[in-house]
Structure 1
Amino acid sequence: MMKFIYPVFLGLLTALLPVIGLFSPKVSGFLAGRRNLFIILQRYRNENPGPLAWFHVASLGEYEQARPVIAALKKSRENLAVVVSFFSSSGYDHVIKKPQPHVDFITYIPLDRKSWANRFVTILSPEIAFFVKYDLWYHHVLALKKMSVPTFLLAASFRENQIYFTWYGGFFRNILTQLDWIFTQNQQSIELLQKIGVSKTSLAGDTRFDRVAATAQSPKDLADVRTWVQGKPTMVVGSAWEEDMRYLIPLINSKPEYCWIVAPHDLNPEPMDRWASQIELPSKKYSQWTSADSNSVLFIDNIGMLSSLYQFARVAYVGGAFGKGLHNILEPLGFGVPVIFGKVKKAGKFPEAAQSQSVGCGFEIEDENQLQYIFAKLEEDDFYHKAKTSAQNWVSSNLGAADRIVSFIHAKNLST
C-alpha cells in the first residue's frame, strides 16, 4: 500500500510547498535552494567528468559523521571527486560558507520523486554512494540500484521502536534490503537488523570519535580567548538552551573565579541579553569583545568556534537534553574534558550519553541541585582526574571507524 501512497504524497507535497513557502521562510529557503539544482549539477559534472563518490547527509550532525570517511576515502583514492548532498537548509547553509577539505561539490538533494531521483543519480553517475545514519530516500536508493552503484549506510544506529521493525514497516524495510552494506555504530543495531532478515551488516563504530579526535589534535588557535583565559579554570557551555541556562545561571553567579564561555543554540540576541541581565558577573558578546576586557562571561554569538573552544575547558556542559535533544557531547570529550548534560528524554537516540556515564566521564543532571553537586565533585582533584582519564581512554578506544569502513570496501572490491 505504501508503495502507492508514497508517490502520491510526494506529488501533493510538491504542489503545496510553494503555497506554504509564502508564509514560511524556512520552506521558502528549502525551495530556493533547489532552484536550478539539476542545471547546476549538470554543469559541475560536465566540467568534472571523472570518478565520483556521493555522500548524502540530512544536516550538519550527519555531515560531521561523514567527514572522517570522506577523508579516509580521499586518502586512498586521490582522483575520486566527492559530492555531498544535504536535505536540511540549516546544514547546507553552515557548510557552504567556507571551503570543506576533501569535498569537491556541495548540493541539495531533490525531493524523492521518482523522476527527480533518477535524474539526480543519472547526472551524478557516482561510482559509489553513501547515506549517513538514517536519511534514506526510497527512489534515490532504487535509482542507484538500477545503475548497479555500490550503496552503503554509514554510522547506522537503530532503535527497536523505529518503523523498520514494526508490522507495517515493510516499505521502509525494503529500502534497507537494497543497500550493499550497512555499517553500524553498535551491536544492538546489527541484532535488530538480523531480526528482519538484513544480514549485510558489520560493526564499524561511531565515526564521530575520529572527527572529534582530529579536531582536538588541530583546534583553531583562538589566541584572543587564550589570552583572556590566562590559565583560569574555565567552563564551556555548548549549545545552551533556555532550559539549560535556568540551572546554569545560579552556578555561574556562585563561581566568579571561573571564566565562563557560553555558546547559545540560537544566535538571536534576545536570549543572550536576557541571560546577561540575570548573571551577576560582567559579560560580553564575542562580536563586541576584546581579550583585554575584564568580563567573566563570554557569549559566543557566531557559528564555527564551539568545537575548538573546548580546548580551554576544565569542565563542559552540553545543552539540548531538556529540549529537542542532546547536542554533541563527544566534542568536549575529544579534548579529555568531562561533560555535564541534562537528563536525556529519548536515551535510545543518544546512546553516547549512557555510555559516557558508564565509563565515568559524562554526568547527567535533572535539576539545579544535581548540577551544583556534580560541579562540586569535579572540583575535587581525584574525582576530576579520574573523569578526565576516562574521557581520554574512551575516545582512544573508539577510534578507527572511518579506516575500518574504507578498508572493508576495498577488501570486498565493492568499489572499483
Structure 2
Amino acid sequence: MYLLYDILLHLSLVLLLPYFLFKMLFVGKYRKGIWERFGFIGEEKLKNLFAGCAECHGKKIVWFHAVSVGETKAVLPLVRLLKEKHPDRKVVFSTVTPTGNAVAEKEGCQWIDSLIYFPLDFNWVVNKIVRLIKPSVFVVVEKEIWPNILRVLKKDKVPVLIVNGVISDRSFERYKLFGFFFIRIFKNISAFLSQTKKDSDKAIALGIEAQRVMLTGNMKFDITPPLWHLSEREAFMQGLGIKDSDKIVVAGSTHAGEEEIILNVFQRLKHEFPNLKLILAPRHPERFNEVEKLVREKGLAVVRRTAVTPASRLQPPASHDVILLDTIGELSMIYSLATAAFVGGTLVNIGGHNLMEPALYRKPVIYGPSIKSCLEMAEMLESAGGAIRVNSEETLFENIRELLLDETYRQNIGNAAYSVVEANKGATEKCLRVLERLMVE
C-alpha cells in the first residue's frame, strides 16, 4: 500500500507541477520554503541544533510540527515549558504555511533552535530529513497525519506524539473508508492526546490502542495572552487616530464574503455611534489589497496597520473609520482593544477559527453559524453565556449594537467567556508529562 501511495504522490506532483510553477512565479507565499519542503535545508538552519552538542543526534532533539498559525500558538506554551524544564533539549519546529512560520519566529524564537518548513511526504524526502535531524521524539499538533514520515519515524524507533489531537467528522469518514491503509498508519502513533472525548473515541475506533489515548483537553486554553506595554498601546492608538473614548469593533480572521457583511453592519452602526472604529484582520495576507479596495469602495476612510511608523507618529493623527490589520501575529493582542469582537470563518462555509482569543481578554465573542472546526469551544462558551452566535447580517448588527449600548451586558458576557478559559486550563502540563515519558523510553 505504501508503494501505491508513493506512486499516487509522484503522479500528483507531475500533474500539478504547472499549477505550482505558476503560483510560485506570481504568488509570493508559494515560493517561501519550497526548497526546504523538498528536503534541502541550509546548514545555517541546523547549526544551532548541534553547536556544542555532539551527542544531540537521536538523544536531545524534539521535533514539533504545527500546520499554521492556530496550531503554532497552541503548542508554543508546551515548547516553552519543555525548554524551561529541560534546557539541554534542542527544538526543531516546522510549519506548512508562511504565516505559521512567521508566528513561530516572532513568538517562539527564544525557545526554538531551528525553524523549518515541513517536508513533503515523498519517501525520499522524509527519509533524508529524518536522518538529518534524528529527533528523539516527534510531536504533531492536532491533525497532521502523513503516512511516509510516520513510517520512517517508526522504523527509526522515534516515538510519535499527537498533542491537542482532533479528528473531524469528515476526516474520520475518510480514514474509515481507507481503513485497510490508515489502520497501519495509526499504529505508528505512540500517544494520542485528545481535545475531547469524542476525539478519543474516534482515535480508538481508527486503531490506536486505548491505553495510548488520553483526554487532556484543549491547549489553546493555556495560551498566555500577549499584553501591550503602555507606550506601545499609546503609539498604536495615536498613530491610527484612535481615542480612548472611541468604541472599537475587531473583526478577526475574516474571509471573502464576510468583509462585505461586516462593512455593511459597520456603516449602519456608524450613524448611531460616530466614534466607532473597525479593525479588520483578513485571514490571508494575499487578500490585504483586495479588502482595502473593498473598504474604499464603501466610501470609508481606511489605513493599514503598517502605515504607522515612528515618522508618521510625529504627524497630527488622521481620522480613519477602518484600520486594516495587515500584519502577522498581532491579532490576539488587538482583541484586547475591542468593545466587541467577531471571529471570522463563521459567516461563510469555512468552519471558524480560534474563538478563545477574544475570551482571553474578557471580550464578548461573536461568530456566525459555520463553526464545525470549533464546535466544542463554541458550545462551552454558549453554555456559560460567554458568546453570541448570529446567522445573518441583521442579527450581527442587532447584537453588536446591543453590546455597544450596554456596558454591563458587555462585561457580563466577557467575564463569562473568560470563566470558560479558567475552567479548562491544564492541558499543556498534561501533555508535557507524556512528552517527558517518551523522551526517556
2:395 is matched with which residue?
A: 370
Q: Which residue of 2 aligns with 1:260?
A: 278
Q: Shift of the alpha carbon at 1:349?
A: 5.3
Give the direction of change, closer, same or farther, for the CA distance of 1:397–1:94 in structure 2 (3 Å limit): closer
Residue number among 345, 358, 376 corresponding to 1:332 in the alignment: 358
The answer to whether the 8 Å contact 2:359/2:417 transfers is yes
- Does structure 2 retain, via aligned residues, the 8 Å contact 1:58–1:135? yes
Could you say which residue in structure 1 is the equivalent of 2:291?
Answer: 271
SS at match of 1:149: coil
Q: Does 1:187 align with 2:197?
A: yes
- Once the two structures are superposed, what CA deviation does each residue of 1:100-121 show, in whole Å capped at 9, x if it has no partner? 2311101123222223222211
Q: Distance in 1 between matches of 2:290 and 2:408?
A: 40
Offset, 1:392: 1.4
Which residue among 240, 248, 258 is the counterpart of 1:234? 248
1:145 is aligned to: 154
Match of 1:205 among 201, 212, 217: 217
Q: Deviations over 1:170-225 (max 9, x none)?
A: 322322221111110111111222334421111111111212x3435989943223
Residues 39, 270 of structure 1: alpha-carbon distance in 2 compared, 3 angstrom cutoff: closer
1:158 aligns with 2:167: yes
Match 1:250 to one of 260, 264, 283: 264
Distance 1:87 1:299 in 2: 25
Matched, 1:355 2:370: no
| 1:173 aligned onto 2:183 | yes
**What is the deviation of 1:17?**
5.5
- Equivalent residue letter for 2:234: A
SS at match of 1:69: helix
Is the contact made by 1:236 and 1:317 (CA closer than 8 Å) also made in structure 2? yes
How much does 1:32 deviate? 3.7
Q: 1:140 to 1:35 in 2, by over 3 A?
A: closer
Residues 387 and 376 of structure 1: CA distance in aligned 2, closer, same or farther (over 3 Å): same
Give the aligned residue type for 2:391.
E
2:130 partner SS? helix
Residues 333, 395 of structure 1: 8 Å contact kept = yes
SS in 2 for 1:225: helix
Residues 164, 173 of structure 1: 8 Å contact kept: no
1:12 paired residue number: 11
Quick one: distance in 1 between partners of 2:202 and 2:230?
38
AA at the equivalent of 2:160: T
Decide which moves more: 40-49 or 386-395. 40-49
- TM-score, structure 2 length as denominator? 0.83
Gap runs ≥5 in structure 1: none
Farther-moved stretch of structure 1 (155-164 vs 91-100): 91-100
Specify whether residues 283 and 88 from structure 1 end up closer, same or farther in structure 2 by C-alpha distance, changes over 3 A only: closer
Q: Does the CA-based 8 Å contact 1:22-1:28 persist in structure 2?
A: no
Matched residues, number = 411
TM-score computed with the length of structure 1 as normaliser: 0.88
Which letter does structure 1 place at the counterpart of 2:275?
E
- The match for 1:308 is 333
1:57/1:98 CA distance change after superposition, 3 Å: closer
State whether residues 65 and 140 of structure 2, in contact with CA within 8 Å, keep that contact through their aligned partners in structure 1.
yes
State the alpha-carbon separation in 2 of the partners of residues 197 and 389 from structure 1. Answer: 41
For the 8 Å contact 2:295–2:302, the answer to whether it is kept is no
Q: Check 1:349–1:334 CA distance in 2 against 1; reply closer, same or farther (3 A cut).
A: closer
* Partner secondary structure for residue 22 of structure 2: coil
Answer with 235-244 or 390-399: which moved more.
Answer: 235-244
Per-residue deviation, 1:403: 1.1
Identity over aligned residues, as a percent? Answer: 22
Partner of 1:390: 416
Unmatched 5+ stretches in structure 2: none
Q: Over the residues paired in the alignment, what is the CA RMSD in angstroms?
A: 2.8
> For residue 23 of structure 1, what is the aligned residue in structure 2?
22
Deviation digits for residues 112-131 of structure 1 (CA, Å, limit 9, x no counterpart)? 22232222112111121101
Over residues 4-51 of structure 1, what are the superposed CA-to-partner deviations in whole Å (9 max), with x where a residue is unaligned?
320111232444555443322265556344466255366565545421
What one-letter code is carried by the residue in structure 1 that aligns with 2:185?
I
CA separation in 1, counterparts of 2:194 and 2:327?
Answer: 33
**Cα distance between partner residues in 2 of 1:68 and 1:117:** 27
2:306 matched residue in structure 1: 287
* Offset of residue 62 of structure 1: 1.7
Are 2:390 and 1:380 equivalent residues in the alignment?
no
Measure how far apart 1:296 and its partner are: 3.6
| Closer/same/farther in 2, CA of residues 408 and 392 from structure 1, 3 Å limit | same
8 Å CA contact retained: 1:184, 1:203: yes
What one-letter code is carried by the residue in structure 2 that aligns with 1:367? S
User: Is 2:246–2:276's contact at 8 Å kept on the other side of the alignment?
Assistant: yes
The aligned counterpart of 1:404 is 430
Distance 1:191 1:245, change over 3 A: same
- Give the aligned residue type for 2:69: L
Q: Are the equivalent residues in 2 in contact too, given 1:82–1:105 (CA < 8 A)?
A: yes
* Distance in 2 of aligned mates of 1:314 and 1:360: 17
What is the distance in 2 between the residues matched to 1:271 and 1:20? 25
Question: Which residue matches 2:342?
Answer: 317
The residue aligned with 1:225 is 236
| Deviations 1:227-280, CA, capped at 9 Å, x for gaps | 433243222121233422222223322232323222233443232132133155
* One-letter code aligned to 1:310: Y
Which residue identity is paired with 1:361?
Answer: G
Which sits farther off after the overlay, 185-194 or 373-382?
373-382
- Distance of 1:80 and 1:56 partners within structure 2: 16
Secondary structure of the structure 2 residue equivalent to 1:22: helix
